[in-house]
Amino acid sequence: MGSGGSHTHVRSCIGCGKKAQKSELLRIVRTEQGMVYDPTGRKPGRGAYVCSMACLEKASQGKKLERALKSGVSQKDLEILGREIAQAASMVE
């Protein structure tokens, strides 16, 4: 039972556990082609959230990313994700 206000979409970073608005986190999605960065937050597929590149690296080293996406994550996937996120970040600045 809500107060009728707008619903906030809070998610947790799989790297550090920080809770934040969905729009403040980076969404990684498992697709048939592999792992991709989803800047819109709307792509279909199993998703996971991280708050920074450091947390993406931490999550991938500790296998948290694989568990969250229920799939193996290759070094190539991580390199592509890193480039996509860095490119998106540079466009914002």
Tens-digit pLDDT profile for residues 7-33: 788 999 999 999 999 999 999 999 888
Asked if residue 51 belongs to a domain, the reply is: yes
**Which of 54-78 are b and which e, b meaning 16 or more Cβ less than 10 Å from the residue's Cβ?**
ebbebbbeeebbeebbeeebeeebb
Asked if residue 4 belongs to a domain, the reply is: no
**Which residues touch 32 (CB under 8 Å, ≥6 apart)?**
none
Tens-digit pLDDT profile for residues 24-71: 999 999 988 889 999 999 999 999 999 999 999 999 998 999 999 999
Asked if residue 3 belongs to a domain, the reply is: no
Instruction: Give the total number of structural domains in the chain.
Output: 1
Asked if residue 52 belongs to a domain, the reply is: yes
Asked if residue 29 belongs to a domain, the reply is: yes
Asked if residue 31 belongs to a domain, the reply is: yes
Asked if residue 5 belongs to a domain, the reply is: no
Q: What is the CATH number of the domain that holds 74?
A: 3.30.1230.10
Alpha carbons 76 and 67: distance in angstroms, whole number: 18
Range of the structural domain that residue 64 is part of: 10-92
Asked if residue 1 belongs to a domain, the reply is: no
